[in-house]
Structure 1
Amino acid sequence: METMRSPWAGRFIGLTFVLGGVAWAILTILVLGNVLAGLGNFTLGPASSRIVAGGGAGSWFTMGILAYGLVAIGGLGLTALFYQHIEGGLGSSLAGWKSIGAGIHLLLGGLGSAGASLLMAWGGFQAGAALLTPDIGGGGQNVGYVHANILNPIAAPIAALMGIALFGYLVGGIVLATAWVAARKK
């Protein structure tokens, strides 16, 4: 049996490359910020290494960056393999509602998870920076201030974006499962 090319796998890989480029830009800015902070220039804020080492509210930064890499980027790339297997390997065409569902999976699942994780990382960076002392580029704030003014306002948007992503994953799971079952019956 000849393997066909999957249009949906290509779309998932394409978004994976875009999100990977965003990750590269973010990490480049963070490294530049660390170099500048080491020279006493806090234009880009305090060194992200200090935010990570500080723990506490700064752990949102760490978890957001990890979630972005693993779920938003890695998850999309892995999902492309499922679409390639269904469309290319098994020869099951995703037409009609299945094509719409795959689009929902790509946009809501991919962009929802990217948005939630990046918002979490941004909030964690801001919170961690606010807790650091001013002499190293921090805001010198206390934990109560940080939670009330930085983290609390973004908790609901993060949860909403996670809900959107989960809905996209559910729709994608239904699309993949029904296409797989239909292909196995052929």
Structure 2
Amino acid sequence: MIGITLSTDQILSAPPEVRRWIEHQVLSGLGLGPEAPPVPTLPVQGAHLVACTTEDAAKILAQIQGVLPAVNVLFEFGRPGIALGQPPVMMFRLIDILHHTRLQNVGQVMASLEMINKALIEARHDPSARFCGFDNEGHCLIAPETQRAIAGVWQTVIAKQHGVAEGEAA
């Protein structure tokens, strides 16, 4: 057995494929990931990842607003993600979404994502539209425009809340 020590700078400057491989090795070593690297799967025929506008994101929020876990998951995508690929996609780890939303398991995150996908299909009137996609390593992928749109909706919600709070104080 050979051990190698890498600095944080070395890992951060490594190509995305190498960072994903290191992540896989660490998770599987801790018993939190699959033993073998996952085999890529084929995407659903006809489904396509869409770039949501601010209007799309607001419509999604309006449709899911009664389900707090789904709202929390939606707003997780307003955080900065890791951009990779060409054309670029934003990558978010499902385990991070689980941790930030304080849900009990990844199944609940996936159920929320399915609800968000269905809300987008209804908002766009396009059964092949997808809010997000997944890789086989526990990442959720969205278009960069979608991330910006969700961040914009989040800022609008916060501004409205701040305005309501100021109005109550007056």
**How does the TM-score come out when normalised to structure 1?**
0.23
The answer to which structure has the higher strand fraction is 2
Q: Report which of the two structures shows the higher radius of gyration computed on alpha carbons.
A: 1
**How does the TM-score come out when normalised to structure 2?**
0.25
